[in-house]
C-alpha cells in the first residue's frame, strides 16, 4: 500500500499530493532522495531505500523531462508492491495532459488518480493470478475469496466511497498466494470497515500459504550467502590462528616459518642506513623467488572500449542534420542510445571504470528522456552538454574541503587535528604524507608525524628521513607494534607538545584482506580521527571501484560503533604519470561520494595541488 | 543546361550591379553623406540605449543554503502563498512579475525579475550565470538552524562577497534571516555578528592558499582589523522575514529600493 505519491517541479514546488493517503511521512524521505540520489547522478537506479527512526521506506520515481516534473511514490519497504512502476508511468501520462505551467492547484487530479490506482492494482493482481495458477489447496477457498473480492471491488468502483476496496489489492507480496489480495490484513494497516469474516479467512490462508509458497530467488540468495560465509571463515581460520595467542606474534602471510628478527633499526645511531646493508642477506629467500599467490588485478587499462566502436555513420549524419534544423519533437531512449554509447566509450578510453560510465550514461538518459530538442542543436551536442553538467555536479565537492579552516577550529578547541592515510600497497601514502606536512608547515601549522606502519621494513626510517628534512617531530615505536596503540599515544604526545596536526601513516593493505581491514577499522574506531584520507593512484583502472567500495564497506561493517567513520576524502597520487587519462578521479568520487582533497603530481615536496574540476571535465570529454 | 543558366544569372547580377552604381552616382554627394550619417547615428543611438537599459536591470537573486526557505519566499512574493509546500530545488525558479502585495496598488508597477537559485552545494555553479545581471542579491539564512550551519553559510557568503562581478558592480546584498516566526529563531544582530566573526576567520585561511588555484578574486575588508559588513564595497544590510506566515515586508522594501518602480 502506498504511503504517499507526490508530484513536484524540478524547481521544488509541490504540485500535488494524494490527500487520501494522508499518512505523514516520518523523517524527510523526499529531500534525502533528492540530495543523495537524484543530485548524485544516480537517477538511473530503480529505487531508493530510506531509513528513519520508526519507518523504512522505499522510493520510486520517474521524470517528465520536457515539463520539468518529478513523480515520486513512497511505500513501506517490507511490502513488495508490483504496481508502483506501472502506476507512476500512468500518472505521468495523465498529469502531463492537464499540466499547465501557470497553474498551481490540481485538485481535479484526485479522482483521476484514484481510478489509475485501481487500474494498476487490478493489473498487478491479474499478473499475480496468472503466475499462481497451480496451487491446489488454495483453490477452493481462493475461488470463494476471488468472488467476494470481485464483488466488493465492483461495488467500490461504482460508488464514490471507494476507499476500502481501493486499498484491497495493495499488497503485491510475492510470498502470499492470490488469497491475500486484501492488503488490509498485512502488517499494521488495518483495513477500514472490512468485514471481520474476510479477515479470518485471510488469516487462515496466510498461514497455509506461508508454509507452502517460497521464493526461488531467496533460496538462491541463501545458498550463495552460505558459500561466501564458509569461505571467509576458512580464511579467517588460517590467518587468525597465530593471533589467538596472548603474546603478539609476527603477522604470518602465507604459512612460511616466521623470521626471528624483523626490526633492524639501530636505536642508538641516526645512520640506520649502514646497518641495513649488513643484515640484508639474512632474510632468506625473497618473495620474488616464490610462487606468486596473491595477484593484484589493478592497473588494467580499458581495452573493451575500443572494441565496441559504434558507427554513427553516414545515415546518422544526414538524419541528424535534418533533425537538428527541424528540431525533433521528443527525444526517447532509442535516439539517445548511439550518442550515449559513443560518450561511454570515450569515457572508458579515458580510464573511467566501466561500471561507473554505465551508471552515468543511464542517469543522463533518465534526465533527457522525453525532452524536446531545441532547433539547430544535434542530439550529440545536447547529450554532451547534459553529460558535462552531470560531471561537474559529481566532481564539485558536497561540503567544504578547506582543511586549514578545520585545523584552526580544532586548534581553538585545544585538540590536535588527526589525519589518517589509508590505501592499498604502493600508492604513495608515505610520500604524499610528507608533501601534506610540507604544505601545512608553509602555513605556519605545527605538524607531527605518527609512524603507524609497523609492518613494512623501512617505513619508519622513511618517515624519519622526511621528518628530519622537514624539521618536525615524529612519533614512532618501531616495528611489530599494534598500530592503533601507537596512534593513540601519538595523539596524546601531540596534545602534550602543542602540535596542531597529527599525520598518521598506516601500512598498505588489500581491500580483500579481512584481518588487516579489521585492524584498520580498529585503529579508526579507537582514535576517531578528524579526517580519513583514502590514497589512491590515478593509474588504477576498474579496481578503483572495488577498492573504494570495499574499504568503505569494511570500515562500516567491522567497526564496533553504531556510527562508523567512513572515508572522508580522497588523495589522488601519481597524477603526473597519466597525461590525459584522468578517469580514475571520476570513478573514485562517484563510487564513494568523497571529494578529492589533494592531487599528488610528482615526488618532491612541492608537487601537491588541488583538483581543478573544469579542466578535468574538459579532458574527460575531449 | 545548368551552365547556361548560371551564365545568365551572372549576367543579370552584373547588370544589377551596374545599375546600382549608376544610381548612386546620380545622387549628389551631400545627400549621400547625409543619408549615411543618419544611418550611423541611429545605430549608435540604439547601442547607447541598450547600454543604459542594461545598467538598470530588474533582477533580484535569492540565494542561500539548502533548506533556508528560498523557494517558499519566491512563491510568497509571486502568489502570496507557498501552496502545498516545497522540496529541495534541483533547478532555479525564475519569474518576472509584479509583487503580489502590490497587485492591489493602483498605477503601473514595474515587474521584477526574481531568480531563486538552488542552495545545494553541488548546484552552486548555477549562481554565476545570474550574477552578471543582478541588481540586488538576497542571501537567505535559516534563523532557527543557524548555529549548526554557520560555517557553511559563511563560506557561501564569503564566496559571493569576493566574486569579481559583485565587487566591481557594487551589487547590494541583503542578509535575510528567515523563519523568525519560530520561537527559537536567533535575532538578526546575533546572526550578523556570528557571520562577521566567521568571515573574519575565513579571510585568514583563504588568502593564505597560494599554491592552489584561487577562486576568490578579491579579498574582503581591511587587513588587520576585525571584519565588519560595513567594510564591504557593496552595501550589505540585514533584515528579518518569515516565509511561511507571509511576513516579507522588509524583503519587499529591499526589492523596491533597488528595482525602481
In tens, the pLDDT along A122-147 reads: 887 888 788 776 554 444 444 444 44
> CA–CA separation, B69 vs A2, rounded Å?
28
The pLDDT of residue B72 is 86
Q: Do A548 and A536 meet the contact criterion of CB atoms below 8 Å apart?
A: yes
A148-152, A253-257, B189-193, B197-201: range with lowest mean pLDDT: A148-152
> CA–CA separation, A262 vs A457, rounded Å?
8
Instruction: Assess B213–A contact: CB distance below 8 Å, yes or no.
Output: yes
Residue carrying the nine cell digits 530467488: A217
What is the average per-residue pLDDT within A249-271?
Answer: 55
Confidence band of B106 (pLDDT split at 50, 70, 90) = low
Instruction: Assess B121–A contact: CB distance below 8 Å, yes or no.
Output: yes
pTM of structure: 0.64
**Domains, chain B, with CATH or none:** 2-53 (no CATH), 56-258 (3.40.50.300)
- Rounded to a whole number of angstroms, the distance between the first and last alpha carbons of chain A is 48
How close does chain A come to B202, measured CA to CA in Å? 7
Record: contact B83-A10, CB cut-off 8 A: no
Record: contact B120-A35, CB cut-off 8 A: yes
A531-537 and B112-116: which strand pairing?
unpaired
What is the average per-residue pLDDT within A300-312?
Answer: 37
For residue B121, the chain A residue with the least C-alpha distance is: A398
Res. B214: pLDDT tops 80: no
What are B53-64's pLDDT values in tens digits? 555 577 888 888
Confidence band of A23 (pLDDT split at 50, 70, 90) = low
Res. A234: pLDDT tops 50: no
What are A148-195's pLDDT values in tens digits? 444 444 443 444 433 444 344 334 344 443 444 443 444 444 434 444
Does the CA dihedral A355-A358-A364-A370 come out positive or negative?
negative
Which chain A residues have a beta carbon less than 8 Å from that of B62?
Answer: none
Res. A203: pLDDT tops 50: no
How close does chain B come to A98, measured CA to CA in Å? 18
Residues of A (538-557) whose Cβ lies below 8 Å from B: none
Q: How many percent of chain A have pLDDT more than 70?
A: 67
Instruction: Assess B215–A contact: CB distance below 8 Å, yes or no.
Output: no
Record: contact A399-B152, CB cut-off 8 A: yes
Which chain A residues have a beta carbon less than 8 Å from that of B212?
Answer: 609-610
The pLDDT of residue A299 is 35
The pLDDT of residue B221 is 67
> CA–CA separation, B251 vs B245, rounded Å?
14
ipTM: 0.70
For residue A439, the chain B residue with the least C-alpha distance is: B211
What are A89-108's pLDDT values in tens digits? 888 888 888 877 777 777 77
Highest mean pLDDT among A71-85, A220-234, A537-551: A537-551
A117-121, A325-329, B23-27: range with lowest mean pLDDT: A325-329
Interacting residues of A396 by C-beta distance below 8 A, sequence separation 6+: A613, B121, B122, B124, B125
The pLDDT of residue A145 is 45
Record: contact B84-A17, CB cut-off 8 A: yes
Residues of B (136-165) whose Cβ lies below 8 Å from A: 151-152, 155
The pLDDT of residue A20 is 67
What are A419-448's pLDDT values in tens digits? 999 989 888 899 999 988 988 888 888 899
The pLDDT of residue A172 is 39
Confidence band of A399 (pLDDT split at 50, 70, 90) = confident
Q: Please name which of A589, A596, A594, A585 lies closest in space to residue A618, comparing C-alpha atoms.
A: A585
B93-97 and A596-600: which strand pairing?
unpaired
B59-64 and B134-142: which strand pairing?
parallel
The pLDDT of residue A92 is 83
Instruction: Assess B51–A contact: CB distance below 8 Å, yes or no.
Output: no
> CA–CA separation, B94 vs B97, rounded Å?
10
A69-76 and A501-505: which strand pairing?
unpaired
Res. A290: pLDDT tops 70: no
Res. B149: pLDDT tops 60: yes
Confidence band of A63 (pLDDT split at 50, 70, 90) = confident
A213-217, A247-251, B31-35: range with lowest mean pLDDT: A213-217
The pLDDT of residue A503 is 92
Res. B127: pLDDT tops 60: yes
How close does chain A come to B168, measured CA to CA in Å? 24
Q: Which three cell numbers stand for residue A196?
A: 471481520
Res. A110: pLDDT tops 70: yes
DSSP B43-93: HHHHHHHHHHHHHT--EEEEEESTTSSHHHHHHHHHHSS-TT-B---SS-E
Q: Which three cell numbers stand for residue A441?
A: 608547515
Helix %, strand %, coil % of chain A (to 5): 50, 10, 40
How close does chain B come to A405, measured CA to CA in Å? 6
Class of residue A133 by CB neighbours under 10 A (exposed 0-12, middle 13-18, buried 19+): exposed
The pLDDT of residue A614 is 83
Helix (H, G, I), strand (E, B) or coil at A532: strand
Q: Buried b / exposed e across A237-256, counting CB within 10 Å, b at 16+?
A: eebeeeeeeeeeeebeeeee
Record: contact B122-A39, CB cut-off 8 A: yes
What are B67-93's pLDDT values in tens digits? 888 888 888 888 877 777 788 888 888
For residue B155, the chain A residue with the least C-alpha distance is: A400
Does the CA dihedral B218-B222-B226-B231 come out positive or negative?
negative
Backbone dihedral angles phi then psi of residue A528, each to the nearest 5 degrees: 45, 70
Record: contact A405-B201, CB cut-off 8 A: yes
> CA–CA separation, A475 vs A157, rounded Å?
77
Res. A261: pLDDT tops 70: no
Q: Please name which of A601, A248, A242, A573 lies closest in space to residue A426, comparing C-alpha atoms.
A: A573
Q: Do A545 and A570 meet the contact criterion of CB atoms below 8 Å apart?
A: no
How close does chain A come to B19, measured CA to CA in Å? 37
Residue carrying the nine cell digits 569515457: A347
Instruction: Assess A616–B contact: CB distance below 8 Å, yes or no.
Output: no
When comparing pLDDT for A341 and A331, which is higher?
A341
Q: What integer best gives the mean pLDDT of chain A?
A: 72
The pLDDT of residue A219 is 56
The pLDDT of residue A276 is 37
Record: contact B208-A443, CB cut-off 8 A: yes
Q: Do A483 and A248 meet the contact criterion of CB atoms below 8 Å apart?
A: no
Among A4, A9, A11, the residue to mutate for chain B (most B Cβ within 10 A):
A11
When comparing pLDDT for A279 and A462, which is higher?
A462
Record: contact A14-B86, CB cut-off 8 A: yes
Q: Do A504 and A490 meet the contact criterion of CB atoms below 8 Å apart?
A: yes
Record: contact B209-A404, CB cut-off 8 A: yes
Res. A247: pLDDT tops 80: no
Q: Which three cell numbers stand for residue A374?
A: 531545441
Does the CA dihedral A100-A101-A107-A109 come out positive or negative?
positive
Which chain B residues have a beta carbon less than 8 Å from that of A25?
Answer: none
Residue carrying the nine cell digits 534563523: B143
What is the average per-residue pLDDT within A245-274?
Answer: 54
Q: Please name which of A177, A166, A174 lies closest in space to residue A204, comparing C-alpha atoms.
A: A177
Record: contact B84-A16, CB cut-off 8 A: yes
Which chain A residues have a beta carbon less than 8 Å from that of B155?
Answer: 400, 402
Q: How many percent of chain B have pLDDT more than 90?
A: 0
> CA–CA separation, B26 vs B43, rounded Å?
26
When comparing pLDDT for A186 and B161, which is higher?
B161
Q: Do A470 and A604 meet the contact criterion of CB atoms below 8 Å apart?
A: no
Amino acid at each position: 500500500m502506498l504511503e504517499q505519491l507526490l508530484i513536484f517541479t524540478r524547481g521544488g514546488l509541490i504540485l500535488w499530493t494524494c490527500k487520501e493517503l494522508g499518512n505523514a511521512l516520518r523523517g524527510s524521505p523526499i529531500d534525502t532522495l533528492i540530495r543523495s540520489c537524484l543530485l548524485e547522478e544516480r537517477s538511473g537506479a530503480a529505487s531508493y531505500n530510506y531509513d528513519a527512526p520508526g519507518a523504512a521506506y522505499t522510493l520510486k520515481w520517474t521524470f517528465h523531462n520536457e515539463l520539468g516534473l518529478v513523480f515520486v511514490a513512497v511505500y513501506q519497504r517490507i511490502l513488495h508492491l508490483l504496481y508502483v512502476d506501472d502506476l507512476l508511468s500512468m500518472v505521468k501520462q495523465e498529469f502531463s495532459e492537464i499540466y499547465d505551467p501557470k497553474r498551481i492547484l490540481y485538485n481535479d487530479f484526485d479522482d483521476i488518480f484514484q481510478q489509475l490506482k485501481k487500474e494498476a492494482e487490478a493489473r498487478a493482481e491479474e499478473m499475480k493470478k496468472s503466475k499462481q495458477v497451480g496451487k491446489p489447496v488454495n483453490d477452493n477457498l481462493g475461488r470463494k475469496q476471488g468472488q467476494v473480492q470481485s464483488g466488493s471491488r465492483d461495488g467500490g468502483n461504482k460508488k464514490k466511497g471507494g476507499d476500502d476496496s481501493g486499498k484491497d489489492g495493495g499488497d503485491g507480496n510475492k510470498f502470499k498466494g492470490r488469497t491475500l489480495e486484501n492488503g488490509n490484513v498485512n502488517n499494521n494497516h488495518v483495513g477500514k470497515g472490512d468485514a471481520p469474516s474476510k479477515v479470518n479467512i485471510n488469516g487462515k490462508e496466510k498461514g497455509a500459504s506461508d508454509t507452502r509458497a517460497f521464493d526461488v530467488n531467496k533460496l538462491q540468495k541463501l545458498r550463495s550467502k552460505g558459500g561466501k560465509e564458509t569461505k571467509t571463515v576458512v580464511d579467517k581460520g588460517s590467518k587468525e590462528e597465530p593471533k589467538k595467542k596472548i603474546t603478539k606474534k609476527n603477522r604470518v602471510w602465507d604459512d612460511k616459518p616466521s623470521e626471528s628478527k624483523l626490526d633492524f633499526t639501530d636505536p642508538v645511531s641516526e645512520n640506520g642506513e649502514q646497518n641495513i646493508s649488513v643484515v640484508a642477506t639474512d632474510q632468506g629467500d625473497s618473495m620474488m623467488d616464490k610462487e606468486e599467490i596473491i595477484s593484484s588485478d589493478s592497473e588494467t587499462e580499458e581495452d573493451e572500449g575500443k572494441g565496441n566502436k559504434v558507427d554513427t555513420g553516414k545515415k546518422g549524419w544526414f538524419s541528424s542534420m535534418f533533425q537538428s534544423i527541424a528540431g525533433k519533437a521528443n527525444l526517447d531512449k532509442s535516439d539517445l542510445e548511439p550518442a550515449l554509447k559513443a560518450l561511454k566509450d570515450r569515457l572508458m578510453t579515458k580510464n573511467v571504470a566501466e561500471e561507473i560510465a554505465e551508471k552515468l550514461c543511464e542517469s543522463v538518459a533518465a534526465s533527457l528522456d522525453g525532452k524536446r530538442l531545441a532547433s539547430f542543436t544535434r542530439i550529440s551536442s545536447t547529450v554532451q552538454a547534459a553529460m558535462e553538467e552531470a560531471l561537474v555536479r559529481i566532481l564539485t565537492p558536497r561540503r567544504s574541503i578547506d582543511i586549514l579552516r578545520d585545523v584552526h577550529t580544532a586548534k581553538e578547541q585545544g585538540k590536535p587535528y588527526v589525519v589518517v592515510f589509508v590505501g592499498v600497497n604502493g600508492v604513495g601514502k608515505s610520500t604524499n604524507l610528507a608533501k601534506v606536512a610540507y604544505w601545512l608547515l608553509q602555513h605556519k601549522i605545527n605538524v607531527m608525524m605518527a609512524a603507524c606502519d609497523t609492518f613494512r621494513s623501512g617505513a619508519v626510517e622513511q618517515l624519519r628521513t622526511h621528518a628530519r628534512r622537514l624539521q618536525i617531530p615524529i612519533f614512532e615505536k618501531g616495528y611489530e607494534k599494534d598500530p592503533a596503540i601507537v596512534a593513540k599515544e601519538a595523539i596524546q604526545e601531540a596534545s602534550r607538545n602543542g602540535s596542531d596536526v597529527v599525520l598518521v601513516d598506516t601500512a598498505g593493505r588489500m581491500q580483500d584482506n579481512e584481518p588487516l581491514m579489521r585492524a584498520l577499522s580498529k585503529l579508526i574506531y579507537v582514535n576517531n580521527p578528524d579526517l580519513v584520507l583514502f590514497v589512491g593512484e590515478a593509474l588504477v583502472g576498474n579496481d578503483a571501484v572495488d577498492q573504494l567500495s570495499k574499504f568503505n564497506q569494511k570500515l562500516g561493517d567491522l567497526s564496533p560503533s553504531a556510527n562508523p567513520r567512513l572515508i572522508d576524502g580522497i588523495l589522488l597520487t601519481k597524477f603526473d604519470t597519466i597525461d590525459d587519462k584522468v578517469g580514475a578521479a571520476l570513478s573514485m568520487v562517484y563510487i564513494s561520494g568523497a571529494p578529492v582533497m589533494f592531487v599528488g603530481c610528482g615526488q618532491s615536496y612541492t608537487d601537491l595541488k588541488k583538483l581543478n574540476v573544469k579542466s578535468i571535465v574538459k579532458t574527460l570529454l575531449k | 543546361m545548368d551552365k547556361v543558366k548560371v551564365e545568365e544569372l551572372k549576367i543579370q547580377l552584373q547588370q544589377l550591379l551596374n545599375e546600382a552604381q549608376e544610381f548612386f552616382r546620380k545622387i549628389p554627394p551631400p545627400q549621400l553623406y547625409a543619408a549615411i550619417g543618419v544611418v550611423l547615428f541611429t545605430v549608435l543611438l540604439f547601442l547607447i540605449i541598450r547600454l543604459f537599459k542594461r545598467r538598470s536591470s530588474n533582477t533580484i537573486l535569492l540565494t542561500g543554503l539548502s533548506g533556508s526557505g528560498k523557494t517558499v519566499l519566491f512563491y510568497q512574493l509571486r502568489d502570496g502563498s507557498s501552496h502545498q509546500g516545497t522540496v529541495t530545488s534541483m533547478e532555479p525558479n525564475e519569474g518576472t512579475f509584479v509583487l503580489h502585495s502590490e497587485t492591489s496598488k493602483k498605477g503601473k508597477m514595474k515587474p521584477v525579475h526574481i531568480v531563486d537559485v538552488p542552495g545545494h552545494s553541488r548546484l552552486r555553479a548555477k549562481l554565476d550565470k545570474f550574477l552578471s545581471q543582478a541588481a540586488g542579491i538576497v542571501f537567505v539564512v535559516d534563523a532557527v538552524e543557524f548555529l549548526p550551519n554557520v560555517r557553511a553559510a559563511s563560506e557561501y557568503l564569503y564566496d559571493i562577497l569576493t566574486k569579481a562581478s559583485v565587487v566591481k558592480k557594487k551589487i547590494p546584498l541583503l542578509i535575510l534571516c528567515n523563519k523568525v516566526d519560530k520561537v527559537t529563531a536567533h535575532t538578526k544582530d546575533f546572526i550578523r555578528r556570528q557571520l562577521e566573526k566567521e568571515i573574519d576567520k575565513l579571510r585568514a585561511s583563504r588568502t593564505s592558499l597560494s599554491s592552489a588555484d584561487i577562486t576568490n578574486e578579491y579579498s574582503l575588508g581591511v587587513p588587520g582589523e576585525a571584519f565588519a559588513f560595513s567594510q564591504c564595497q557593496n552595501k550589505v544590510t540585514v533584515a528579518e522575514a518569515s516565509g511561511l506566515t507571509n511576513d516579507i515586508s522588509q524583503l519587499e522594501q529591499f526589492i523596491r529600493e533597488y528595482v525602481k518602480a
